[in-house]
Amino acid sequence: MASDPRLARLDLAQAREGLLKGDFTSAELVGAALDRVAETEPALQACLCVLGDQALRDAARLDAGGPDPAMPLWGVPVSVKDVFLVRGAPTTAGSRMLEGYMPGFEAEVVTRLRAAGAVITAKTNLDEFAMGSSTEFSAFRPTRNPWNLGRVPGGSSGGCAAGVAAFQAAGGFGTDTGGSIRQPAALCGCVGLKPTYGRVSRYGIVAYGSSLDQAGPMARNVRDCARLFAAVAGPDGRDSTSSRVPPEDLSALSPPEAKGLRLALPRELWEGSFDAEVGKVLDSAKGLLASAGISLETVGMPSLRFSVAAYYVIAAAEASTNLARYDGVRYGYRTPSKGDLLSLYRESRTAGLGREARRRILLGTFALSSGYYDAYYRKAAQVRRLIRDEYARTLEEYDFILAPVSSIPAWPFGSFTEDPLTQYQLDVMTLPLNLAGGPGLSLPAGLGGDGLPVGVQIMGPHFREKALLEAGILLEGIFPRLPEPPLKAL
Amino acid sequence: MEMDTVIGLEIHAQLNTRTKLFCSCPTEFGAEPNTNICEVCTGQPGALPRMNGLALELAAKAGLALGSRVNESSLFSRKNYFYPDLPNGFQTSQLDPPICEGGSLEISGDSGLPKRVRLNRIHMEDDAGKCVHDERRGITLVDLNRAGTPLIEIVTEPDISSAREAVEFLKKLHGLLVRLGVTRGRMEEGEFRCDVNISLKPKGSATLGVRGEVKNLNSFKFVGQAIDYEIRRQGEIYANGGRVLQETLHFDSQKGETRSLRSKEEAHDYRYFPQPDLPPVRVSRELLERLRGELPESPEEALARLLAMGLKDSQARLLLDRRGALEYFDSAAAYFPRPLRIASVMEELFLPYCQKEGASPLEGPFTPKLMAGLAKLAEEGILGRRKLQELSEGLFKDGLDPEKLVRDQGLAQISDEGELARLAREVVEGCPQEAAKYRAGQEKILSFLVGRMMKLSAGRAEPRKAGELLKAALAGGKEGQGVG
C-alpha cells in the first residue's frame, strides 16, 4: 500500500481540516501513519506493539459514519506509551514481567481518546515501569533518537517522543513521574505537557509513583498538545486522586502579550554546569525571550537542592509497593521451577523484573523499613511540602517559572547505565515540578551545533493549563522552528 | 506465685455492605470461587481503589455507638507483605489516624461490679482472599471472592481479666453491632472474629508480661477455651521458672490447645505508609449528625431512661439483657402508658415464658398491643394475680386478646364489696363447723374459708378483700342472725 507520505507529516489541525473537508479519509491518514511506522521502525524501535489491523478497522468504522465535527480528534492517529491499558493489545510496561499480559479493561485516557474519535495506532517503548530517563531500561530494546540514531531518545516516554518527532503519529500520550514526558520531548525536539496532578485520570495506567504519576500529551506543536490534552482532562470517579476542579475550556487559545509577561528563573536550576551546546542554545533562547519584551528574573528556590533526594525516596517507596503485585501468582511471569512460596516470589521477581526496577524496589523498601521511615520517607515528604510552598510563592509573584529540561543533550547509549546516581542527578530539572504537583510544558528552544534539539520548560499554577499552553504558543513563535529530524546516525 | 491475667482483644467485624470496600463487586458469601472479582480486587495493573461510602458510614456509626471520637479526617495506609491471597502485595488499612479513637463498652466484671473496657481505636481495612490447599493434588488454589471485603478492626485496651469477661464483652459488642446494622455478625461465615492478646503478670504488678497473640477465633466458645488454655500454659511456664515467648498462636479447636505460628523474630515489617491512591477519608459534621440521629439508644441511655420511669434496677437490666425485650416493652408502653405495670407483667410472666420457649418477645404471637391490654386488666384489678398466672401461658402461646377473653368468659375479678359480702355470708352459712372453730379462736381456718369462697366465685373473688369480708361475716354472724 503506497500512501501519501505527506499525510503522515500533517499536524493535528491540518489533519482535522483535511478529514472534515473529505480531502482524505481516516483510513488513509491512519494508513499513512502505519506506513511511516513500518518505514522508520527498523531505525527507531519506538513501538512495542503496532495496532495495525485494529487501527485500520477503527478508522474504517469512523469513515463509515462520516466525519464528526463534534469529535475533536475524529479519525486522527495517536500512539500511547505502553503503560496505558488498551483493549485487544498486550500491555507490558516495558517489562518481561508483563510480557503478553492482555488487560481486561481500558485506561480512562484511552477511552476518552476513543470517545473523541482518535485511533490508537501503537503502544510505544519505555523504560521498564517508566523507571529511567533514556528508554535503555526497556526490557525489550532501546529506542533510538531520530536526530541521531546513536543517541538515546530520553525517557521514560522515549518511544512516544521519538515516534511523534519522526511522524509516526500526530501525537501521543506519555506519563510523567519525574520528567518522563518533558525530558524525552526536549531530547527529541517535540512538545510535551505534564498536566497538574489530578487533572488526567490515572485509571488503567500501570503505576510507578502514584502520588507523582501524571499522563499527558506529546505532539509537534503546542496547539496539538492542547487539543490532545483537552480530550482527556477532567474528573474521573474511578481515580480517587482525580480532581473535581472542572476542566478549562481550551477551544480558543490566544497567546498573551510578550510585554509584561514575567518569568522566574530559579537560580538553583540555571546556575549548574551545562553541556556547551546546550548552554549556547539556552543563552540564545533567553536572549530571544528578552528581546521580545518578556521579563526574565532570577529567583532563589533553595529547597530545590533537595529535590533529587526527596524524589528518589518518595517515588521508590511508592514503586516498591506498587510493584508488589507482580508476584507471579495471578498473572505475569512465573518461574517454571517448583519450589516453596518464597522461592516462587524470589525467582519470579528476579527474572521478571529488570535491574533498575529491582534497584528502585530495594531503595523504596529500605526507605519504608521500620527504623528508617522517619529518616527517609517522612523527611522526603517534608521536603516535598517545602518545594510545593516555594513553587506556589514564586508563582504568586511571577506568571511562570522558566527552566531548562536537561543539562545535556541526548547522550550516547550506555553512558550512564552503570552509573545510576549520575543519571538520577540529571533529572534535577524536571523532578521539582512533580513534587510540587503543578503543570509544566516542555518545548524545543533550538538545535545545538551537534544537531541535537534542546528544550526549555515553563511551569505554572495548579489547574491553569490554559494559560500555560497560551504562553507556550507565544514562546513557540519566538524560538526557531526545528527542521525535520534526519533519522541517521551522526 | 499468684498471677493476674491481662487480655486485650482485636475484633474484626465485616461491615454490612453489599459491595466491597474499594470496588463494586458483591460481598456475598459462598459464591463460586473467583466469580465476585474485578480488576480492582484482583490487583490488576492500572486498577485504582475507590472508597465505599456506606462502609465509611457504618464504621463511623460503630464508633458513635461505642463512644469513640470519630475523626473528621483519617487516612488509609498500605500494609505491605506478600501472600498469595493478597492480590496487591499490600493490605489497605488505617494506621494513623484511624477513623475512630477511644470509646468503651461496659460489662459486668469478675468482681461483680460493672467494668468499663476501654477501646483504643476502630479502623477500616480490606480483607484478603483465601488460599485453599488441595492436599491430594499437592497444590494451593487462590479464591479472591473475599478480597476487598470491608472490615472494621476494633482494638481494646488490655482491660479484660478473664475468659468470662472476654466472652461477655464480645457477646455484648456483637449484639450491639448487629442491632446497629454495622455487621451481620455471622460468625460461622467469619463476619465477626477475634484475636486475643494475653499475658500474665505477678498479682498487683504494674509491668505487663510477655504476650501471646491467638489469631482468628470465630466463636465465643473458642475464645473462652483459648484464653483458659493460655492462662494454664503461660502459668506453667512461669511456675517452672521459664520465659514466655512473644509469639503469634493458632488455636486448634479440635485439640483445644494453641500452637505457635511465628515468633517475634519472624514478625513482618509491614512498611506502613500513606496509601497514595486514596485521599484522606472525610467525615463531615453533617454526616456525623445524621448518623447520630440514626443511632439507637445506647444501653447506658436506655438504662437511665428506664430507671427514670421508676422501674427497679433489676427490671431495667432484665429488659436490656434479653434480646428484643426493650423494644417490646417500649412499644407496649406506647399503647398503655403504665410502664411499671408492663415491666412487672413482663418480668414475672412474659420474659420467663419467652426464655422457657426460647422465643424472642417480638417474634411470638403475643404482640406488644396485647401485652398493653393484659397490663391494663391487671392495673385495673380486673384480672387478679392468680388468674393472670393461670391464663398467661395460653395467652402468650396463642396470641389471644386478654380483654376479649375476659369479656367472653366473664373472667373479671369480683371486687365489688356487696357481691363479695354476699358470697362471704354464703360460705359462712355453708360451713357452720368451720365458722364455729374460727370463732372459737382457730384463726388459721380462715384460709380454708377463703379457698371455699374462691371456689364458689370460680376464682374471681379478689383474695385480699375476700379474707376481710369473710372476717366481717364471721364476726357479724350473730348480729346478722338477729337481724336476718
Q: Which residue has the cell 460503630?
A: B62
Enclosing domain of residue B454? 417-483
Interface mutation target, options B277, B278, B281, B282, chain A, most CBs of A under 10 Å: B277
The answer to whether position B24 is within a domain reads yes
DSSP A374: I
Q: What is the pLDDT of residue B449?
A: 85
Q: What is the pLDDT of residue B291?
A: 95
The answer to whether position B259 is within a domain reads yes
Q: Which residue has the higher pLDDT, B357 or B169?
A: B169
CB contact under 8 A, B276 and A341: no
CB contact under 8 A, B42 and A93: no
Rounded to an integer, what distance in angstroms lies between the CA atom of residue B293 and that of residue B380?
38
Residue B251 shares a structural domain with residue B326: no
The number of folded domains in chain B is 3
Rounded to an integer, what distance in angstroms lies between the CA atom of residue A458 and that of residue A439?
9
The candidate with the shortest Cα–Cα distance to B68, out of B19, B109, B31, B119, is: B119
- A45 to chain B, closest Cα gap in Å: 24
The four Cα atoms B392, B398, B404, B407 give a dihedral, to 10 degrees, of -60
Average per-residue pLDDT for chain A = 97
The answer to whether position B292 is within a domain reads no
| Chain A hits for B77, Cβ within 8 Å | none
Confidence band for B480, pLDDT divided at 50, 70 and 90? very low
Looking at the predicted structure, is the pLDDT value of residue A44 above 60?
A: yes
Q: Pick the residue from chain B with its C-alpha nearest to A367.
A: B271
Rounded to an integer, what distance in angstroms lies between the CA atom of residue B104 and that of residue B118?
4
Interface mutation target, options B273, B281, B282, chain A, most CBs of A under 10 Å: B273
CB contact under 8 A, B45 and A211: no
Query: Which of these ranges, A13-22, A99-108, A477-486, B382-391, has the smallest mean pLDDT?
Result: B382-391
Q: What is the pLDDT of residue B306?
A: 93
Query: Which of these ranges, A336-340, B34-38, B114-118, B376-380, has the smallest mean pLDDT?
Result: B376-380
- A295 to chain B, closest Cα gap in Å: 38
Give the N- to C-terminal CA distance of chain A in Å, as an integer: 31
- B87 to chain A, closest Cα gap in Å: 6
Looking at the predicted structure, is the pLDDT value of residue B419 above 70?
A: yes
Q: Counting one residue from A and one from B, how many pairs have CB atoms under 8 Å apart? A: 100
Over the stretch A321-342, which tens digit does the pLDDT of each residue have?
999 999 999 999 999 988 899 9
Q: Which residue has the higher pLDDT, B285 or B299?
A: B285
Rounded to an integer, what distance in angstroms lies between the CA atom of residue B422 and that of residue B401?
31
Q: Which residue has the higher pLDDT, B415 or A290?
A: A290
The answer to whether position B235 is within a domain reads yes
Q: Phi, psi (5° rounding) for residue B248?
A: -100, 130
Question: Which pTM does this prediction carry?
Answer: 0.84
Residue B272 shares a structural domain with residue B169: yes
Interface mutation target, options A86, A91, A95, A203, chain B, most CBs of B under 10 Å: A203
Looking at B378, B409, B440, the residue that finishes a domain is B409
- A241 to chain B, closest Cα gap in Å: 6
Looking at B380, B409, B438, the residue that finishes a domain is B409
* Long-range contacts, B26-34 (Cβ 8 Å, 24+): B27/B149, B27/B150, B29/B186, B29/B189, B30/B189, B31/B145, B33/B132, B33/B141, B33/B143, B33/B145, B34/B142, B34/B143, B34/B144, B34/B145
Interface mutation target, options B24, B34, B39, B48, chain A, most CBs of A under 10 Å: B48
Name the amino acid, one letter, at B51.
M
pLDDT (average), residues A158-183: 98
Residue B344 shares a structural domain with residue B478: no
Looking at the predicted structure, is the pLDDT value of residue B478 above 60?
A: no
Rg of chain A on CA atoms, in Å: 21
Over the stretch A269-326, which tens digit does the pLDDT of each residue have?
999 899 999 999 999 999 999 999 999 999 999 999 999 999 999 999 999 999 999 9
Residue B426 shares a structural domain with residue B468: yes
Residue B439 shares a structural domain with residue B316: no
* CATH number of the domain to which B442 belongs: 1.10.10.410
Average per-residue pLDDT for chain B = 90
Q: What is the pLDDT of residue A2?
A: 66
Residue B332 shares a structural domain with residue B252: no
Residue B223 shares a structural domain with residue B355: no
Question: ∠ CA A389-A393-A394 to the nearest 5 degrees?
Answer: 120
Catalytic residues of A: 81, 156, 180
Looking at the predicted structure, is the pLDDT value of residue A95 above 60?
A: yes
Q: Which of A204, A320, A330 sits opposite B42 (nearest CB)?
A: A330
Looking at the predicted structure, is the pLDDT value of residue B443 above 70?
A: yes
Q: Which of A85, A241, A370 sits opposite B277 (nearest CB)?
A: A241
Over the stretch A141-167, which tens digit does the pLDDT of each residue have?
999 999 999 999 999 999 999 999 999
| Chain A hits for B277, Cβ within 8 Å | 207, 210, 240-241
Residue B346 shares a structural domain with residue B262: no
Residue B141 · residue B134 · CB < 8 Å: yes
Rg of chain B on CA atoms, in Å: 32
Q: Which of A204, A318, A370 sits opposite B46 (nearest CB)?
A: A204
| Chain A hits for B269, Cβ within 8 Å | 369-370
| Chain A hits for B276, Cβ within 8 Å | 209-211, 241, 318
| Chain A hits for B87, Cβ within 8 Å | 325, 330
Give the cell for residue A92.
Answer: 507490558
| Chain A hits for B89, Cβ within 8 Å | 321, 323-325, 327
| Chain B hits for A324, Cβ within 8 Å | 80, 82, 88-90
Count Cα neighbours of B28 within 13 Å in the Cβ-side half-sphere: 8
Residue B11 shares a structural domain with residue B124: yes
What is the percent of chain A with per-residue pLDDT over 90, rounded to a whole number?
A: 97
Q: What is the pLDDT of residue B461?
A: 80
| Chain A hits for B50, Cβ within 8 Å | 237-240
In chain A, CATH 3.90.1300.10 covers 5-232
Looking at the predicted structure, is the pLDDT value of residue A224 above 50?
A: yes
Name the amino acid, one letter, at B229.
Y
Pick the CATH number of A5-232 from 1.10.1740.10, 3.40.50.1820, 3.90.1300.10, 3.30.450.40: 3.90.1300.10
Residue B277 shares a structural domain with residue B311: no
Rounded to an integer, what distance in angstroms lies between the CA atom of residue B457 and that of residue B452?
9
Q: Which of A85, A206, A330 sits opposite B43 (nearest CB)?
A: A330
Q: What is the largest CA-CA distance in chain B?
A: 111
Q: Which residue has the higher pLDDT, A405 or B299?
A: A405
Residue B303 shares a structural domain with residue B208: no
Looking at B225, B258, B287, the residue that finishes a domain is B287
Residue B429 shares a structural domain with residue B331: no
Interface mutation target, options B44, B90, B278, chain A, most CBs of A under 10 Å: B44
Question: ∠ CA B399-B401-B405 to the nearest 5 degrees?
Answer: 120
CB contact under 8 A, A238 and B269: no
Looking at the predicted structure, is the pLDDT value of residue B32 above 70?
A: yes
Rounded to an integer, what distance in angstroms lies between the CA atom of residue B411 and that of residue B460?
7
Rounded to an integer, what distance in angstroms lies between the CA atom of residue B345 and that of residue B358?
18
Q: Which residues of A424-460 are buried (b: 16+ CB within 10 A; e: fewer)?
A: bebbbbbbbbbbbbbbbbbbbbbbbebbbbbbbbbbb
| Chain A hits for B271, Cβ within 8 Å | 320-321, 365, 368-370, 373
The answer to whether position B254 is within a domain reads yes
CB contact under 8 A, A368 and B43: no
Q: What is the pLDDT of residue B466?
A: 83
Asked whether this complex has an ipTM greater than 0.90, the answer is yes
Q: Which residue has the higher pLDDT, A195 or B359?
A: A195
Q: What is the pLDDT of residue B482?
A: 35
Q: Pick the residue from chain B with its C-alpha nearest to A322.
A: B88
Q: What is the pLDDT of residue B479?
A: 44
Q: Which of A107, A204, A321 sits opposite B80 (nearest CB)?
A: A321
CB contact under 8 A, A103 and B269: no
The answer to whether position B90 is within a domain reads yes
CB contact under 8 A, A101 and B51: no
Residue A218 · residue A192 · CB < 8 Å: yes
Over the stretch A59-83, which tens digit does the pLDDT of each residue have?
999 999 999 999 999 999 999 999 9
Q: What is the pLDDT of residue B460?
A: 78
Q: Which of B48, B51, B87 sits opposite A203 (nearest CB)?
A: B48
Concatenate the DSSP letters of all residues of A94-145 into one string: T-GGGTTPPPSS--HHHHHHHHTT-EEEEEE--SGGG--SSSTT-SS----B
